[in-house]
Structure 1
Amino acid sequence: MTTADSRAERAARARVAATRIEAEGVDGVVLGWVDNAGVGRVKAVPVRQLEHAAAWGVGASPCFDHFLVDDGMAPGGGPLGDLRLVPDLAALTRLAAQPGWAWAPVDRYAQDGTPHPGCQRLFARRMVEAVEQRGLSVRAGIEVEWVVNGGGEGPAYGMRRLIGSSDYLRDVLRALHEQHLDVLQLHPEYTTGQFEVSVAAAGPLRAADDALLVRHTVQAVSARHGLDASFAPAVAPGGVGNGAHLHLSLWRDGHNLGHGGLGPHGLTREAEAFLAGVLAELPALLALGAPSVASYLRLVPGRWSGPYRCWGLENREAALRLITGSTGEQANAEVKCFDGAANPYLAVGGVLAAGLAGLDGALRLPPEVPDDPTGSTAVERLPDSLDQAVKAFRGSEVLRAALGEELHAAVLAVREAEIALFAGRTDEEIIDATRRRY
C-alpha cells in the first residue's frame, strides 16, 4: 500500500476488473466491511471509479471502530481522522441478486498507506500468516442461519416448509451459484421461517468473506421476494436463535491433522494442541464470536447452541464438537457457540490466535464429555452474559497480544457500551432493538 509500484499494480488490476464487470452490466461496486458491533457497513463507487478506489482507497472515518449496534458511538470514537478503504480485488464479485452491482471486501489503511491497527480483516490476515509461518494451513467454513418473516409454516427440517419456500430457496441457490459459491447444503432449520446454508471450506480469510457474501445475497434475494431476513442471535423470546458455527481443520503438507494421529479420536498432537488452545480461550472468545447482549438469549442449555465449555465427538451441546467425517480428510472441529452477530474476521482471527497459543504451549485436551451435559454440575458453563464474556476477554493476554492494543481497546469499548445500552431492558426489548441490525 505504501509504494507507487504497488499502487500502480492495484490500479492496473482494477482497470482490467472494471472493464470486465462493466461489460457484465455492473454500474456500481459496494465496498464492504464489518464493524466491531458485527454490523455490515458499506460505501459504494461507480464502476468507473474502481481503479481510483483500488489505487488510493475511499475515505471513511475511523469512528466506525466505535459504532454500536444502534449506530450510537462508544467512548473513543469521534469526528477526527480519516482512513482509506482499499478493495480486495481477488474477492470482487458481481452480485447476482442485485442487478448492476458488484461487491468487494475492503482492508483499511491510514492516509500514509500503513495498515490501520483497528482493521479486523487485516487482523484475520495476520493470524492466517502466523499459521502459515509454521508450515501449517487452516481450512474453515461458517454456517449461515437466518430467519425470514413469512418463511413458511411446518415442522423443523420439514418438507412442508421447504415446499412453501421452494421458489425463494431456489433463487438463493441460483444466486450463490452465479457468484461461484460452492453450496454444500441448504435446509429448513428448527424454528419457523429459519433456514441454513453451508458453503465449501476455504482458507480462513476467504471463509469470512464467503460468510459475508452469503448473508448479503440472502438479504438481497429475500428483499426481492418481499421478505425480511435476520441473522440476529435471538429473534423471539425463549426461541432458538441464529448460530454462525465455525468449522475448521488444521493441515500440513496436504494432510488433515485431524486424523491418523495418536490423540483422541485420531487427532495428531498438533491438532489436539490447537483445539486445546481454542477451548482454553473460549470464554474470552465469546466476546468476539457471541458479541451481543442478545447472544446470551441464544446461548442457553438444551438448544444445541454449545453453552458448555467442553468438547465431545459429535456432541452438539458441547461448545467444541469434534467431527471425524466419513473419510479422514473430512475431519474437522465445530465451534458451536458463535452466532450471527459476530464480525467473522474477529471470530476467525481470534480462534486462530487461540489455536496458535495452544500449539506454543503444547496443550492437551481435557477429558472428553461424551454425554449430554445439560443440567450437569460437573461440566463448566461458558459465560451466560456479555458482561461475563467481556471480563474473560479483558483478562486474555492471548487475545490482547494478537489483536493489538488499538483493536483490543476498541472491541472492549464497544462491548462495554452495549452492556450499558441494554442494561435493564427486557428480553423482548433487546430482541426488538437487535433483530433487524444483523
Structure 2
Amino acid sequence: MSRWGIVEQAERDERAAKARGIAADLAERGVSGVAVTWVDNSGITRVKAVPLQKLERAAAWGIGVSPCFDTFLLDDSAAVAKYAGGAVGDLRLMLDLDRLTPLVAQPGWAWAPADRFRQDGTVHPIDQRSLAKREVERLAALGYSVRAAFEVEWCVSVGLGDEFVPACAGPAYGFARLTEQSDYVRDVMNALIGQGLTVDQIHPEYAAGQYEVSVGAQDPVGAADTLILVRETIRAISARAGLRATFSPKVLAGGVGNGGHVHLSLWSGDSTETPAAGQNLMSGGSGRYGLTEPGEAFAGGLLAHLPALLALGTPAVASYLRLIPSHWAGAYACWGLENREAALRFVTGSTGDNANAANLEIKSFDAAANPYLLIAGLLAAGRAGLASGTRLPEPIEVDPATLSAEEASRHDIRPLPSELAGAVAAFEKDEVFTEAFGPEFVDTIATVRRAEIKLFEGASPEDIVARTRWRH
C-alpha cells in the first residue's frame, strides 16, 4: 500500500487480484464476511464489514467511513475539534490483506485491520495506523528497528449483565482459577493459536476474575494489530461461553484494574522478520545490565517523555484510578532491573538468553489506549532519545513510593500525572510529539481527552468505573 503518496490504478488492480485469490480460499473455509477494523482516539475498536463477494472491490477502492470517529468519545458521543469532527466528509478503509485472518471464535467471519485514506487516494492525516507506520520508517532510516508485544489482561464476568460478577473465585494466580474456567481458558488459547498467533503463556492474574495472555514479539504495527485480534477473540470466546469480558483499566472501584503493559526491544538493522539478522541493543553492551549506548538512549527517551506518553497510553479518566503507587502500575517515572513498581522495568531474561530476551516493559499503560497511537508515541520518544544520546538516571531497586521526598529528589524520581488533565497538558507541550504527530493529531487527541474529562466531571470513582467498565 502506498502510504504517503496517492494510490495509483496499477496498485488498485494488484490489490483486487490478490483479494480474488484470498476470497476463493476463504470461501472454501466457509467464510461469508470480512470485519474491517480501525481504532478511534478514545481507544474503541470500530468496525465495518463486507460480504466475501465484495472483498475484491473493498481491497481496491476501500470501504466508505465517516471521519467523525476521530472525535468520538467512549460513550459514543462526539466532540468537535479544529481539524476533525462533524458530519461532513468521507474516508476509505483500505484493509491490510496481509493480516486478513479467518476467525476461529466467529465461524464464517474473517478479520483485517485497515488504514484510512481520503477519497483522492492520499492518507487521512489523522489515521493512527499510518502514523505508527511512519514512525517505524523514520526509525528504520536511522538503521534501527523495534520488536514489540502487548500483554493482555482482562476480567471475566458471569452472564451478560452490566454488574461485574467475577467468573472465578480462586486465589490470585491460583490453579483453582484455571480449574474453575478450564474449558474457557483452553478455548481462548486454542483460538489464538488457530489464528496463527504465538501464545507465550496464559494464566490467572491478581484482580477478581482476571486472566492474562502474552503473545510473541513482532514488528510494532504488527504487535498493535495482534492486540486488536487478541482482544476481540477473547471477547467472542467469552460471549460463546455465556461470559462477558472487560479490558477496562478499572473494573471495580476498589480493585486493581487491567494493565496494558508494552514490551519493547531496540535492534540494529531490520529485525522484524528474523531477529537473528540484527543485534538486540538491549543486551551485549558495556552499560548497566548489558545495555548498549543506543539501547540506553532509546530507553532514556521513553523515560524522559513518559508524562506526555500517558495521554496516549493511559488515556481514560478511569486510567488514573488504576495508576496508583504500590499496585505494580508504574506510577513513578523511574526505571529499574526487574522492578515492577518502576514505570520502566528492565528485563534481561535468563542468563544465556539475554541476546534474544532483553527488553523494556512499560508498565504505566492500559487497554483504553489506541495501540497504534501508543506505538507511534513510543517510537517517537525513543527516536528522540537516540538523537540526543539521552542517558538513564541511576536505576531504582525499591518501590519508589517507600522513598522519602529527599531520596526521590536525589534519584530524580518523579510521580507521573495523577489525572488525565496533567497528561494532556504534558502532551501538548512536548515538542517531540508536536513534530512527530503534527498539529491535526495533537489538537484532535487533546480535544477528545478534554471532552472525556468534562464527561466525567464531578463523578465518583464508582460512577466512573460503572460508566467505563464495558467500553473497552
| Coarse TM-score class (shorter-chain normalised) | over 0.9
Cα deviations by residue, 1:93-117 (Å, 9 ceiling, x for unpaired) = 0000001000000000000000001
Aligned to 1:91: 99
49, 60, 68: which one pairs with 1:44? 49
- The corresponding residue for 1:383 is 417
1:74 aligns with 2:74: no
Q: Matched residues in 2 for 1:409 and 1:2: separation?
A: 27
For residues 230 and 7 of structure 2, what CA distance do their matches in structure 1 show? Answer: 32
Q: Does the Cα contact within 8 Å between 2:339 and 2:346 map onto a contact in 1? A: yes
Secondary structure (helix, strand or coil) at the match of 1:2 reads coil
Letter in 2 for 1:43: K
Asked whether the 8 Å contact 2:330–2:363 carries over to 1, the reply is: yes
Q: Does 1:175 align with 2:191?
A: yes
DSSP 3-state at the match of 1:228: strand
Report what 1:421 is aligned to: 455
State the distance in 2 between where 1:216 and 1:101 align: 12
From 343, 346, 371, give the equivalent of 1:322.
346
Alignment of 1:191-340 (within 5 A): 191-253=207-269, 254-326=278-350, 327-328=353-354, 329-340=356-367
Map of 2:178 onto structure 1: 162
Q: CA deviation at 1:314?
A: 0.2
1:403-422, aligned counterparts within 5 Å?
A: 403-422=437-456
In 2, distance between residues paired with 1:239 and 1:375? 21
Q: Distance in 2 between matches of 1:397 and 1:380?
A: 20
* Conserved 8 A contact 2:326-2:399: no
Tell me, in whole angstroms, the C-alpha distance in 2 between the residues paired with 1:340 and 1:242: 7
- The residue aligned with 1:117 is 125
- Contact 2:208 / 2:255 at 8 angstroms: preserved in 1? no
Q: What corresponds to 1:141 in structure 2?
A: 149
Residue of structure 1 in register with 2:60 after alignment = 55
Which amino acid is the alignment partner of residue 378 of structure 2? V
Q: State the shift of 1:372 in Å.
A: 1.3
Looking at structure 2, the residues matched to 388 and 238 of structure 1 have their Cα atoms a distance apart, in angstroms, of: 23
Q: Distance in 1 between matches of 2:30 and 2:426?
A: 49
Q: Where does structure 1 lack aligned partners over 5 or more consecutive residues?
A: none
Q: 1:360 aligns with which of 387, 411, 414?
A: 387
Corresponding residue SS for 1:255: coil
Identity %: 56
- Render the CA deviation track for 1:44-70: whole Å, top value 9, x for unaligned: 000111111110011111110000000
Secondary structure of 2:193 counterpart:
helix
Alpha-carbon distance, 1:34 to partner: 0.5
Distance 2:54 2:443 in 1: 34
What is the aligned partner in structure 2 of residue 102 from structure 1? 110
Please state how far the C-alpha of 1:263 moved relative to its aligned partner: 1.6
| Distance in 2 of aligned mates of 1:400 and 1:365 | 23
| TM-score, L = length of structure 1 | 0.99
The question of whether the paired residues in 1 share the 8 Å contact of 2:202 and 2:214 is answered with yes
RMSD: 0.8
Q: Secondary structure at the match of 1:234?
A: coil
Q: Map Cα deviations across residues 109-144 of structure 1 (whole Å, 9 max, x no partner).
A: 000000001000000000111111111110000000
Using the TM superposition, give the Cα deviation of residue 380 of structure 1 relative to its aligned residue in structure 2, in angstroms: 1.1
Tell me what 2:436 maps to. Answer: 402
Matched, 1:345 2:372: yes
Mapped partners of 1:335, 1:188: distance in 2: 21
Q: How many residues align?
A: 438
What's the secondary structure of 2:401's corresponding residue? Answer: coil
CA distance in 2, matches of 1:63, 1:375: 46
Counterparts of 1:412 and 1:191 in 2: how far apart (Å)? 31
Partners in 2 of 1:262 and 1:10 — Cα distance? Answer: 47
What residue identity is the alignment partner of 2:76? D
Question: Match of 2:185, as an amino acid?
Answer: L
- Measured after TM superposition, the shift of residue 22 of structure 1 is 1.3
Structure 1 counterpart of 2:192, one-letter code: L
| Contact in 1 for aligned 2:105/2:237 (Cα 8 Å) | yes
Alpha-carbon distance in structure 1 between the residues aligned to 2:140 and 2:29: 36
Runs of 4+ in 1 over 2 A off after TM superposition: none
SS in 2 for 1:404: helix
Structure 1 residue aligned with 2:14:
9
Matched position secondary structure for 2:415: coil
Q: Which runs of 5+ in 2 are unaligned?
A: 1-5, 159-166, 270-277
1:375 is displaced (CA, Å) by 3.7
Distance 2:267 2:113 in 1: 26
SS at match of 2:168: coil
- For 2:126 and 2:188, how far apart are their aligned partners in 1? 33
Question: Matched residues in 2 for 1:180 and 1:122: separation?
Answer: 24
Separation in structure 1 between the aligned mates of residue 183 and residue 143 of structure 2, nearest angstrom: 45
One-letter code of the match for 2:462?
Answer: E
**AA matched with 1:374:** A
Measured against aligned partners, the alpha-carbon deviations of 1:310-339 in whole angstroms (never above 9, x if no partner) come to 000000000000000111121000000010
1:132 aligns with 2:140: yes
Residue type matched to 1:188 in 2? P
Q: What's the secondary structure of 1:69's corresponding residue?
A: coil
CA distance in 1, matches of 2:117, 2:402: 48
Instruction: Look up the match of 2:272.
Output: none
C-alpha distance in structure 1 between counterparts of 2:212 and 2:308, whole Å: 27
Normalising by structure 2, report the TM-score.
0.92
